[in-house]
Structures are given as structure tokens and as C-alpha cells.
Amino acid sequence: MASPDIAPPGSRSIGLAMLLAMLALWQIATRFDHPDFILSPAEIARHVVEALRSGELLPHVGASLARSLPGFVIGSLIGVGLGLLAGVVRSLDQLLSPVVFLTYPVPKIVFLPIVMLWVGIGDVSKIAVIALACFYPCFINAYYGARGTSTIMVWSGLNMGARRSQTFRKVVVPSALPLVFAGLRVSLALSFVLLFSTEMINARSGLGFLIRQSESSLRFDLMYVAIVAVAALGYASDQMLLLVRRRVLAWQDATSR
């Protein structure tokens, strides 16, 4: 059985072909009459290169990463840690799970004004909201990963003399890792979604700020450049996380063959 993050043979080529076909149709469509705010893929690519050469884009990329990455790391670490513990400790489960599952459907961006009142309108409030959004998928996936650990494996470890802490590290955590990484991927995507939303409010730098500023000043070329930068950062980050997953779960892929 193939690993879920390994694409079947030929699927990547098909996906790339579909992307190229879509870009080609987009390029052809822009040869006809169209609004000024619609640019062709070739024009967007040229503006991206120009923004990189001029240095106009990189400071905003750095500002966005300085907000999204700490928020992702903080929220994910807390979510995974508490989720794993809640999955095996009944008292912690009864304490945390009702609160987490009750507040999970609430859009996390609505907490931004409240957080701003507590910590100010600077980067700390933006990082806090991003961390809050990343916490939930990591907690829920780690929780169900721990709860889904085979009871036979746990009892086997305990009967062989392993302490509960050893059973947690050697049995529960490895069993939960596939779902933990699924939660991390969702959280990583959410960190960029919330980054854009938070930077639209009281920000003076970052890709979200650049998109809002470019739209208001009718700099559609720069707006598309910022959108492409967000997409590129999100894709690159996801691929790096998949690489880590393949290395960490190499044992799982080997046993599933």
C-alpha cells in the first residue's frame, strides 16, 4: 500500500499539464478585450521578476514570515502536546475537549480585536491569532491519533515492564504521528490564511498589507506579485513539511509495502 503523501505514477505529470493548460488558456484570453485589473500570466511573471530585482518584494516577504512561522510553531507545539496528552489522560480530556470542540467552529480572526486590546496592535497580536488558529487542527488530530492507538500494543508494552511514560513515547506517539502531520499541514495552510487577514488590519508591512495597499492605489501588478508570493511561500512550506514527514515516517512506509 502506498503512502498517502506519495502521488501515483503519472499523477504529477497530469497535474502539471493541467496547470500549464490553464495558464495557456488564461494567456490566450487576455489577448481579447478585458478589464485593466486582469493581467496575463506572462505579465505577472515579468512583474514578479522586476519586484525581486528591485528589492520591493523581499522586505514584505520577511515581515510576513516573521509573523506566520512563530505563530505556526507556537500553536502547533501547544496543540500537538495537549492533544496527545488529552488522548491518554482522561481527566485532561474531560477538562480540555469540551472547550476545544465548542470553540473550534468560531472563525479565529474574530479574536483579533480582543487580542489587540490585550497586547496592542503590533506583531504580537497577529502572531497570537495565527497561533490560536494553528492550535485547533493540531490538537484535534493529535487527540484522535492518540485515542486511535491500538489497545493491544499499549497493554503489551505495559505487560513487558514498560513504564507509562515509556509506553507513551514508544507506542502512543509513533502511532499518532500520521494524524499529527495531517494536522500540521492544515495548520500550516491556516497560518498563511490568517496571516493575510491579520495584515489587512493595522499593518505597515507584509504581503497582506502589500495586497491591500496595491489594490487601493490601483497597482494591480504589485497586487498580483504579492498573491503569487503568498502562493509560492505556502507551497514551498508544505513541500518542506512533506519532506520531514517522509523522513520521520519512513518506517511506516517500509512496513506498508
Percent of the chain with pLDDT over 70: 89
Give the confidence band of 158 by pLDDT, cuts at 50, 70, 90: low
Give the residue carrying C-alpha cell 489594490: 215
**b/e map 46-83, b = 16+ CB within 10 Å:** ebbeebeeeeebeebbebbeebbbbbbbbbbebbbebb
Hey, what's the torsion of the CAs at 121, 110, 193, 51, to 10 degrees? -40
DSSP 7: P
Cell numbers that stand for 253 in this block: 512506509
176-229 pLDDT, tens digit per residue, is 999 999 999 999 999 988 888 888 777 788 888 888 888 888 888 888 888 889
Per-residue pLDDT at 13: 77
Q: Are 152 and 72 in contact (CB under 8 A)?
A: no
Encode pLDDT of 29-42 as tens digits: 778 776 667 777 88
Binned at pLDDT 50, 70 and 90, residue 257 comes out as low
The CATH topology of domain 41-256 is MetI-like fold (1.10.3720)
Residue 75, helix vs strand vs coil: helix
* Contact predicate 190/241, CB 8 Å: no
Euclidean distance between CA atoms 28 and 41, whole angstroms: 10
Query: Which pLDDT belongs to residue 73?
Result: 95
Nearest to 197 by CA among 115, 126, 100, 95: 126
Nearest Cα neighbor of 86 from 100, 104, 75 is: 100
Phi and psi at residue 241, to the nearest 5°? -65, -40
**pLDDT at residue 1 in the model:** 40
